[in-house]
Structure formats: C-alpha cells, structure tokens
Homo-oligomer: A and B are copies of this chain.
Amino acid sequence: MHKFLNSADTFLTDSLAGLAAAHPELIVDQEQRIITRSAPPRPGKVGLVSGGGSGHEPLHGGFVGFGMLDAACPGEIFTSPVPDQILAATSAVHTGAGVVHVVKNYTGDVLNFQLAAELADEAGIAVETVLVNDDVAVEDSTWTAGRRGTGATVLVEKMAGALAEREADAAQVAGLGRRVNAASRSFAVALTACTTPEAGKPGFDLPEGQMEVGVGIHGEPGRRREPTGSAREIVALSLDAILGDLEGAAGLSRGDQTIVLVNGLGGTPLGELYLVYGEVAAVLRGRGLSIARNLVGNYVTSLDMAGVCITVCRADGELIELWDAPVNTPALRWGV
C-alpha cells in the first residue's frame, strides 16, 4: 500500500493532529472532531460551517480561517460527519447572528446537516443551509439524489466567507452562497482510481488507457468510460457540458466574466493542471467569455486520484470583489 500512515484506524486522528501542529491558528478538537479558528468568533458575525467526508483535503479544514469558514467537520474518509459533530461546530461559532451551513449534495451529508440544523434550532440557533450541487455530469448518483457538489464548494465558501466578515446577516450570507452555486457548474474526468487508507488498493478498476468521464469525488461512476482522450478533447467535452448548462440555466452569454477553477483530484501533477487550464482559457476565449480570476491546483481532491475537475462560475463585479477580499486559511491566503 503506497500510503504514509501508522494504521488505517488512526489515520484521520493522526492526520488531524498534524494539521493542528502545522497550524496554531486553528483549533482541532479531536473529541468532537471539529476544526475552528483559534481566534474566538467576533460577536455579531454570522458563523460559516461546512464539512463532509475526509479524503478531499484541503476541503474543508484547509479553508477554516479569516474570510472563509469558521468551522469544519471532517467525517471519516468518504463518510459524512455525524449530526452531533455538526451541532458542536454550529454551537461553537454561534455568537447570536445565526449560522450558515455549506453542504455538498450527498445524501448522507444532506441528512446529517439537516438533523444538526433541527437540533440547533431547538437550542435556539437559527441555521440557514446552502446546498452545493454544481456537478453537471449526472443527475442522481451512487450517493446522491440530484446533482453532486464538488469544485463550486470552494467558490461558495470563499465568497460567502468574505461576506460573513462584514455586517451581513445569515440570510444575506446564505443567499450569496446560493447565488454562487447557481452560477457555477463543474465536470470531472479521472484517469485512475483512488486508494483509501482502509482498503489499501484502488476503490474501482479503471484500466490503463481508459478514462471515467464525469467521475465523482469518491470515484463514483460518471457518464461513461472511454479511451483516454487528449487534454484538448477532455477539456472540450467537459466545457460542452458545463457551458451548455450555464447558458441555459444561468443565462451565460458572450461577453460575460467568469471565475475558473482547474482543480486536481490529488494525483495529477501541477504541470498537467496548468496545461488543462491553458486549454480551458482558449475555449472560453473562443466563446467570447473572459476569465476574471482563476485558481489552479488541488483544492477538492479524491485522495490520490489522477483526475481534473473544471469549474466555471458566471461572475459579476460583486462576486469578483468578494473573491478578491482578504483570506487567511491554510489553503487559500491573500490580502493579509
């Protein structure tokens, strides 16, 4: 097994201990399994909480900090966090202004965040929920009813996080998050499967020379499997799916500005991610779309999967200003 670990049983605990050691600006509560900022929440600030299965690092713990999340709830690898855990995070960051949950659309996550929101409500904490469902590859999937949540989560957490640092209320922060999600579409292609610490071998069989088109971030199947295409072909089919959908539902049209994320799934070298970004930029330019901001790297991963997920967000001045706002987290940091 090509994994750095002490035992599969202690993997997550050990990894979180390392995160805590590396980032004194975070508090990792191993008991409740929540990650919060070391600085106590500013009174009156809307709390922003997200979480989901581990194995997608830096999502979500790497996005805790000024300008993004107040707390993250890491589940076991590819497993939803539990309601008590989410409730603990929600309570920890509530200062009276309510809490917004950012939830990727997987059945377990949705159910557990919903339960936690109900428990929070009983405890007098108003919770708003932003459901992220940007993956155009499939309707319904192995662990999803409706579309899966993927790369747009970074955009939602960044921009809603920026707004939450200001005098915005929970409804405004959640509304902005929903607007970012509605303006964003993603599509992913995998060239290899990924290996969980527990299984110790690839989670599915993807023969050399084949690609999974529309793969999910747990390796769940996409639209089809076919011989691996060139980067140009992969970008073309991904953007056909993304832009076709954005043109219909989000009214994307020539002259619009976008924010683009070329996200590695963990096992793809940065040189390839930049190559893919170059192809994306050429296609968008050809369609009369401008890229106002971009992000190229590993942000929402699937352990060591070789693959790329492309996200396009139809942006406007407000979104770009929120994107540019200062952020100080382990995985995104600028303006500070």
Tell me the minimal C-beta distance from A255 to chain B in angstroms: 19
- Which chain B residue lies CB-closest to A17? B278
Q: Which of A6, A20, A282, A308 has the most chain B CB within a 10 Å cutoff? A: A6
Residues of chain B lying within 8 A (CB to CB) of residue A276: 4, 18
* Contact of B298 with A270 in the complex, beta carbons under 8 Å: yes
- Knowing A1-B208, A4-B275, the reply to whether A269 touches B228 (Cβ < 8 A) is no
* Contact of A274 with B15 in the complex, beta carbons under 8 Å: yes
Q: How far is the CA of A209 from the CA of B1 in the complex (A)?
A: 6
Residues of chain B lying within 8 A (CB to CB) of residue A3: 191, 272
Tell me the minimal C-beta distance from A29 to chain B in angstroms: 16
Tell me the minimal C-beta distance from A101 to chain B in angstroms: 23
Q: Does A19 reach chain B (CB closer than 8 Å)?
A: yes
- Which chain B residue lies CB-closest to A2? B191
Q: Does A57 reach chain B (CB closer than 8 Å)?
A: yes
Q: Does A277 reach chain B (CB closer than 8 Å)?
A: yes
Q: Does A14 reach chain B (CB closer than 8 Å)?
A: yes
Chain A residues 11-55 with CB under 8 Å of chain B are: 11-12, 14-22, 54-55
Q: This chain: how many copies in the complex? A: 2
Tell me the minimal C-beta distance from A158 to chain B in angstroms: 15
Q: Does A214 reach chain B (CB closer than 8 Å)?
A: no
Residues of chain B lying within 8 A (CB to CB) of residue A20: 278
* Contact of A18 with B57 in the complex, beta carbons under 8 Å: no
Chain A: interface residue count, which band? Answer: 35 or more
Q: Does A304 reach chain B (CB closer than 8 Å)?
A: yes
* Contact of B270 with A4 in the complex, beta carbons under 8 Å: no
Residues of chain B lying within 8 A (CB to CB) of residue A301: 269-270
Q: Which of A17, A20, A62, A191 has the most chain B CB within a 10 Å cutoff? A: A17
Which of B5, B16, B282 contacts A272 (CB under 8 A)?
A: B5
* Contact of A294 with B4 in the complex, beta carbons under 8 Å: no
Chain A residues 229-261 with CB under 8 Å of chain B are: 230-232, 234
Q: How far is the CA of A275 from the CA of B19 in the complex (A)?
A: 7
- Which chain B residue lies CB-closest to A335? B336
Tell me the minimal C-beta distance from A334 to chain B in angstroms: 6
* Contact of A18 with B274 in the complex, beta carbons under 8 Å: yes
Q: Does A266 reach chain B (CB closer than 8 Å)?
A: yes
Q: Does A150 reach chain B (CB closer than 8 Å)?
A: no
Could you pull out 30 A-B pairs where Cβ atoms are within 8 angstroms? A2-B192, A2-B267, A4-B234, A4-B276, A6-B231, A6-B275, A12-B271, A14-B231, A15-B278, A18-B274, A18-B277, A18-B278, A18-B279, A18-B296, A19-B274, A19-B278, A21-B282, A22-B277, A22-B296, A54-B271, A55-B269, A57-B269, A57-B270, A57-B271, A57-B274, A62-B270, A266-B269, A267-B304, A298-B298, A335-B336
- On A, residues with C-beta under 8 Å from B are 1-7, 11-12, 14-22, 54-55, 57-58, 62, 191-192, 208-209, 228, 230-232, 234, 266-279, 281-282, 294, 296, 298, 301, 303-304, 306, 308, 333-336
Which 3 residue pairs across A and B have the least CB separation, nearest first?
Answer: A18-B278, A18-B274, A2-B191
